[in-house]
C-alpha cells in the first residue's frame, strides 16, 4: 500500500494515527522536529504495531530537508498535524504561531506541488466555527470569528488549502475539524504528553489524580447549561485516528475539497467528565470551581452525520473508555515520555 507522510506525526494525534495506518497496511513516514513531542513515541508505535516506520527529525519549514524526504520516498498522501496548539500561548506569542503554523502548511504545499503529491489531510479544529454559529455545528456553516491567534491560524490554513485545491483540480484536500480529543491508546504505551503545565482539561485532571498537581480548577459553573459548567464533545483519540484512515481512503479516490467534523455528537459537561473519570478509575480528582476562562464558549459539539455518511466513520468508544485509557497511560507514564 502507499506511503503516507505524517507531518508532526510524533505528537499526540499523529502517533495514534500512525498506529491505525500501520495496522491497516499503509507505509508510514513521520517528519517531526520534536518541538512538542519525543522520539520515544516512535519506538512505542513500532512496539504496538510490530511494524517499522521511517522517521525524519526535521523542521517542516526547512524546505531543503523536506525536499530530500519527498525525493527519497514515493508519498501518495500527506497528513498535516505539524503545528503549535496552545491557545493561551498563542495570545502572548501570535507571531510565533502564525510563523510556524502557516509556514509549515506553505512548505508542505510547495513540496507536494514539486513532487506531484496530490492528497493532503489537514488537522483543523472546531474552534473555526467561532461564537456566531449555533450548536450542533455542521460543515455547511460559515466559519465564525475565532477568539485567539491559534484559532485564526486554523481558519487561514483552511483558506490556503481551499485556494490551492481550486487552482489545481487534480488535488484532494480533506479538512478535518476535531472536537476535543482525549484518552490514550488502550495499551497505555502512547498518549498525550503535555510540556509544562497542561492547558487542556483532561491532562490536568489526570495529573491531579496522580498527585502531580494539587487540584483542578473548573472554569465557571454559572453558564447557561444543565449543571452550569461548559459542554464539550470529547472524542477518544483512537476513534479520531481511525477517522484519518477513512480520510486517506477517501482522498485517494476523490478530488476537490471536503470538510468533515470529527466528533461524537454527544456533549458532556466538565463536572460530568471529571466525575466519570473518578468513578471508572476509583480515584479522586480534587477540584474547585473558579471564574470563567476568557474565550471559552458554553457549548461546543458536532453534528457528525457527514463523516458517517461519506467516510463510513463513526465513533465506537465511550466516555468511560476515554477516562479509563487516559488513566492507564498516566499511571504507566507518570512523567509522560520523560524518564
Chain residues that interact with ligand UD1, rule: CB under 6 A: 85, 87, 125, 127, 147, 151, 180, 199-201, 204, 216-219, 230, 232, 270, 293, 295-296
CB of 232 to ligand UD1, least distance (A): 5
Dihedral, CA atoms, 101, 262, 89, 6, nearest 10 degrees?
-40
* CA–CA distance, 134 with 301 (Å, rounded to integer): 10
Q: Report what 271 binds from ligand UD1, ligand NAD, none; CB cut-off 5-8 Å by kind.
A: none
Q: Considering only CA atoms, which of 251, 273, 255, 179 is closest in space to residue 26?
A: 251
Query: Is position 150 annotated as part of the catalytic site?
Result: yes
Nearer to ligand NAD, 108 or 251 (CB): 108
Q: Report what 295 binds from ligand NAD, ligand UD1, none; CB cut-off 5-8 Å by kind.
A: ligand UD1
CB of 184 to ligand UD1, least distance (A): 15
Contact in structure between 243 and 262 (CB atoms under 8 Å) = yes
Nearer to ligand NAD, 85 or 118 (CB): 85
Nearer to ligand NAD, 69 or 171 (CB): 69
Q: Report what 123 binds from ligand NAD, ligand UD1, none; CB cut-off 5-8 Å by kind.
A: ligand NAD
Applying CB under 6 A, the residues found at the interface with ligand NAD are 8, 10-14, 32-37, 59-61, 81-83, 85, 100, 104, 123, 125, 178, 181
CB of 110 to ligand UD1, least distance (A): 26
Nearer to ligand NAD, 169 or 194 (CB): 194
Contact in structure between 77 and 252 (CB atoms under 8 Å) = yes
Q: Considering only CA atoms, which of 41, 38, 39, 1 is closest in space to residue 21?
A: 1
* CA–CA distance, 220 with 287 (Å, rounded to integer): 12
CB of 240 to ligand NAD, least distance (A): 9
The three cell numbers of residue 272 are 460530568
Taking phi over 0 as left and psi of -120 to 50 as alpha, with beta for the rest, 333 belongs to beta
Residue 61 neighbours by CB distance under 10 Å: 18
Q: Report what 136 binds from ligand UD1, ligand NAD, none; CB cut-off 5-8 Å by kind.
A: none
Q: Report what 147 binds from ligand NAD, ligand UD1, none; CB cut-off 5-8 Å by kind.
A: ligand UD1
Residue nearest to ligand NAD (CB): 11
Choice among 137, 150, 234, 301 that is catalytic: 150
Q: What angle do CA 275, 280, 283 make, to 5 degrees?
A: 70
Nearer to ligand UD1, 249 or 296 (CB): 296
Nearer to ligand UD1, 24 or 147 (CB): 147
CB of 195 to ligand UD1, least distance (A): 13
DSSP string computed for 59-117? -TT-HHHHHHHHHHS-EEEEEE--S---HHHHHH-HHHHHHHHHHHHHHHHHHHHHTT-
Q: Report what 206 binds from ligand UD1, ligand NAD, none; CB cut-off 5-8 Å by kind.
A: none
Residue nearest to ligand UD1 (CB): 230
Question: Collapsing DSSP states into helix, strand and coil, what is residue 217?
Answer: strand
Residue ranges with strand state E in the chain: 3-7, 27-32, 54-57, 75-80, 119-125, 172-178, 180-182, 216-219, 231-232, 234-236, 256-262, 268-269, 287-290, 299-300
CB of 296 to ligand UD1, least distance (A): 4
Q: Which residues are catalytic?
A: 150
Amino acid at each position: 500500500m502507499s506511503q503516507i507522510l505524517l507531518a508532526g506525526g510524533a505528537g499526540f494525534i499523529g502517533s495514534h494515527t500512525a498506529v491505525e495506518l500501520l495496522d491497516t497496511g499503509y507505509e508510514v513516514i513521520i517528519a517531526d522536529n520534536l518541538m512538542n513531542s519525543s522520539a520515544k513515541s516512535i519506538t512505542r508505535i513500532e512496539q504496538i504495531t510490530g511494524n517499522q516506520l521511517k522517521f525524519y527529525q526535521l523542521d517542516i519549514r526547512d524546505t531543503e530537508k523536506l525536499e530530500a524526504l519527498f525525493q527519497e520516498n514515493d508519498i501518495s498522501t500527506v497528513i498535516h498535524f505539524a503545528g503549535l496548539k496552545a491557545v493561551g500561548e498563542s495570545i502572548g506569542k501570535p507571531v510565533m504561531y502564525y510563523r510556524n503554523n502557516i509556514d509549515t502548511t506553505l512548505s508542505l504545499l510547495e513540496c507536494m506541488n514539486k513532487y506531484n503529491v496530490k492528497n493532503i489531510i489537514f488537522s483543523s479544529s472546531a474552534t473555526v466555527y467561532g461564537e456566531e454559529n449555533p450548536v450542533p455545528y455542521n460543515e455547511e456553516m460559515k466559519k465564525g470569528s475565532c477568539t485567539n491567534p491559534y484559532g485564526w491560524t486554523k481558519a487561514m490554513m483552511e483558506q490556503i488549502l481551499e485556494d490551492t485545491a481550486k487552482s489545481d483540480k487534480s488535488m484532494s484536500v480533506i479538512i478535518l475539524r476535531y472536537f476535543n480529543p482525549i484518552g490514550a491508546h488502550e495499551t497505555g504505551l502512547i498518549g498525550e504528553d503535555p510540556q509544562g503545565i497542561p492547558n487542556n482539561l483532561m491532562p490536568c485532571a489526570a495529573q491531579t489524580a496522580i498527585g502531580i498537581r494539587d487540584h483542578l480548577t473548573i472554569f465557571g459553573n454559572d453558564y447557561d447549561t444543565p449543571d452550569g459548567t461548559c459542554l464539550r464533545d470529547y472524542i477518544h483519540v483512537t476513534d479520531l485516528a481511525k477517522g484519518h484512515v477513512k480520510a486517506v481512503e477517501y482522498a485517494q479516490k476523490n478530488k476537490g475539497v471536503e470538510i468533515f467534523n470529527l466528533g461524537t455528537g454527544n456533549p458532556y459537561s466538565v463536572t460530568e467528565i471529571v466525575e466519570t473519570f473518578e468513578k471508572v478509575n476509583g480515584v479522586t480528582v480534587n477540584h474547585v470551581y473558579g471564574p470563567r476562562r476568557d474565550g471559552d464558549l458554553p457549548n461546543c459539539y458536532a453534528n457528525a452525520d457527514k463523516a458517517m455518511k461519506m467516510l463510513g466513520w463513526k465513533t465506537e468508544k465511550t466516555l468511560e473508555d476515554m477516562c479509563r485509557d487516559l488513566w492507564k497511560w498516566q499511571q504507566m507514564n507518570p512523567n509522560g515520555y520523560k524518564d
